[in-house]
Structure 1
Amino acid sequence: MTNSELLSPGENIRPQLTMDQAKQLVTKYYGFECESISELDGYDDKNFKVAVRGNHEQDKNEQYVLKILNSLDSRTVDFIEGQNELLLYLFNKNITCPVPQPTITKSYYTIVQLESGKHIVRLMNYITGVTLLTASNLPDYIFSQIGTFTSNLDNVMKKFYHPVYESHKTLWMLNSVPELKKFLFAVEDSEKRSFLEDIIVEFEKKVLTKVDQLEKGMIHGDINEQNIIVEKIGGEWQFKSILDFGDSQYSCYLFELAIAMTYAILLKKNVDVGGHVIRGYEKVRKLPEEEFNLLKICIEARICQSLTMGVYTSSLDPGNAYVLTTSKPGWKVLREMRSMTNEELFQKWRELPLVE
């Protein structure tokens, strides 16, 4: 088993295929006849929502998500096998998440040759609801629910093991923040570039020197506003599901919380909302003081990752607006956080009114 390869500057890894080609993959490998197909958002991967009619085993309409993995991650077949096992494990633990569907040959993935290279293809069950990003008038309690789910998910995953997670590495792990230096050239504004460099250096000094002392376990690795599904029950928004385990990893619990807080803050464009996520999180796992003290720089480092890789990926694929979702609120939030001390930020979080 080898470590996963990291993205190199200049490498374009996104799958290239048409809607018709995507439909043909569904029919050829899963035996479904496509009734309709539409493209969903994706960063380096291609995702399609498909409605199908019947197959070799059933004759009822169903909805699925066809996922065509980027060419870089498609080289790590052992990770996809591990990820599939994790999803099936969580499904059996009553966690609502995407579940891989078997092909006509009873495999949970297949590898196809496209114009853009070799790509792993999977078909996942479609989960109804809306993403947190597209939900309107979100109440504060939903962010407390996200915090509780985050710590509960990590708790459920404590008993899961697959050897691939011992060595799996990606550029989106917080451990990989120093690798961002290779991509900062894409940030054309020299003042912004220097600003991001300062965060990377501080994260290296304050956090990466202490990683060995922090509690670790399996984490989702990307609990963001586009991976969270919510739905209205009795007229009120409720947390329903988490999508996309492509960044699942064995890492620090601190990083899981910091990432969940980052995207909640960016969504609301308000650092205060992070306090609601912490309160929900601590209903399951009490946050050690040392982790609490490192949250601010971890959140800043995640925003730094998102801004840098968003600009870089956009330079390769200008038509993909999804990769720049963080940019508009990102700079504003990041500058606000950098202007505050740990104590000032923690005080804002502590003073938040309780929500249920």
Structure 2
Amino acid sequence: MVCVNEDVIKSVMKDEYGKTVVNITPLDGYIDANFKIDIVDGISDGHSGYESVILKISSGSTDSIILQHSIMTYLDVNGITTCTPVKTTSGSTYCTENFHEDTNNDSEEQVCTVLSYLPGITLRSAGNPIYLMEDLGGFAGRVDKLLQTFEQEDIQPSETIWELTGTPKLKPLIEKYCDNDIKELAENIIKAFENKILPVITSFQKGYIHGDFNDCNFIVLQTLTKVDKYTISGLIDYGDACVSFYVYEIATLMADMMAVCQGKQNPFEVGKLILRGYRKEFELNSVELDNLRLIICIRMIQYYVLGAEILEKDPSNEYAGLDRDEYISLCKYLWDIDDERFRLELVENLN
């Protein structure tokens, strides 16, 4: 990971965006470096007199950045509240800058983007209240319904291991990072993907997806009537946007919320509410529903082993270690039940 100091941030904002930085607050990030920045000469937020924006520093390709920005803008104009790119003084939605590595004096070119700031807090910070789960699923379904008609002809989406067809690429990571029963579980899930998913994968609905539905990427606002009640208000972080399958998208959301709500909510109840909300906006076909349990398990194994890889490179990355134990615990449980019970609990018993 690159080393980003405040002087470099101030220089980028001044030279590329014509703004003066007042405050810099580091934010969590899986791979990218993220900062909330207060700048002057912008639109006042009504309290501090500053404009708040998000600075993202990424090693991704410029094509990937352009795709993310195009999706954000498309969703925003179609009624989904999200971050939108802020242009540089030259009219571009990104710039490049050389940053030094943490461990040596070598420099690496990174892509810098500034995005509008969404007011509110994350769903996780609000405590993942159960009363929001169906609305959460509905919001996700509306996003995917819109993305079905999104087109980006000039850019070929880059391949990512954070995607359903990338499942076999997990094999060497499973060998390296998993031991004993977790290794056996992961290997069995990979085999099930090859034997059960691949033969029917052409039946899955496919298109652009957000790629990282989780409780840290949905923004909520307090209701006007009750300060302890929230509504889903927006969606952030499009770094994993790609072309993939919509059943994988909803599986990603269900995997995360069912795992993180363990201990205070019944995971099946959480999953059922999310799926109910999603299907009101985006209908899944019978083949997708038949394979939903397995795809949730695949996502959980992805999260576990890819998180281990990132933590090996950067042990201080607390964000990469979030809920890994909860993910693998629920994965074991879901793997041990059969599809019939899963369908009965989550798919057929939606009323």
TM-score, structure 1 normalization: 0.88
In structure 2, C-alpha distance between the alignment counterparts of 1:337 and 1:188, rounded to whole Å: 18
Indicate whether 1:242 and 2:235 are aligned: yes
| TM-aligned CA deviation for residue 330 of structure 1 | 1.2
Give the whole-Å Cα distance in 2 for the aligned partners of 1:217 and 1:319. Answer: 35
Query: Counterpart of 1:245 in structure 2: which amino acid?
Result: Y
How far does residue 204 in structure 1 lie from its aligned partner after superposition? 2.3
> Could you say what secondary structure the match of 1:149 adopts?
helix
**C-alpha contact 1:147 1:277 (8 A) present in aligned 2:** yes
Residue range with higher mean Cα deviation, 337-346 or 314-323 = 337-346
The corresponding residue for 2:127 is 136
- RMSD over aligned CA atoms reads 2.2
Structural mapping, 1:172-191, within 5 Å? 172-191=162-181
Identity among equivalent positions (%) equals 28
Q: Counterparts of 2:96 and 2:202 in 1: how far apart (Å)? A: 37
Q: Secondary structure at the match of 1:36?
A: strand
Q: Which AA in structure 1 matches 2:127?
A: S
Q: CA deviation at 1:164?
A: 5.7
Give the distance between the partners of 1:137 and 1:223, measured in 2 at CA: 14
State the 1:191 CA deviation.
2.9
Q: Does 1:301 align with 2:286?
A: no
Shift in Å, 1:165: 5.9
Q: Distance in 2 between matches of 1:321 and 1:338?
A: 27
Distance in 2 (CA, whole Å) between partners of 1:156 and 1:30 is 31
Verify: 1:227 aligned to 2:217, yes or no.
yes
Q: Which residue of 2 aligns with 1:80?
A: 65
Question: Is residue 38–residue 50 contact of structure 1 (8 Å, CA) maintained in 2?
Answer: yes
Give the one of 107, 119, 123 matched to 2:110: 119
Rounded Cα–Cα distance in structure 2 between residues aligned with 1:130 and 1:282: 26
Structure 2 CA distance, aligned partners of 1:206 and 1:38? 46
Choose which of 282, 285, 290 in structure 1 pairs with 2:287: 290
Q: In the alignment, is residue 41 of structure 1 matched against residue 28 of structure 2?
A: yes
Matched, 1:53 2:43: no
Q: Which runs of 4+ in 1 moved over 4 A?
A: 164-167, 350-354
* 1:67 partnered with 2:64: no
Task: Give how far 1:15 is off.
Answer: 2.8
For 1:92, the equivalent position in structure 2 comes to: 77
Report deviation, 1:109: 0.3
The change in CA–CA distance for 1:216 and 1:137 in structure 2 (over 3 A counts) is closer
Instruction: State the partner residue of 2:152.
Output: 162
The aligned amino acid for 2:267 is V
Deviation, 1:67, is 0.2
User: Offset of 1:43 from its aligned partner?
Assistant: 0.6
> Match for residue 10 of structure 1?
none
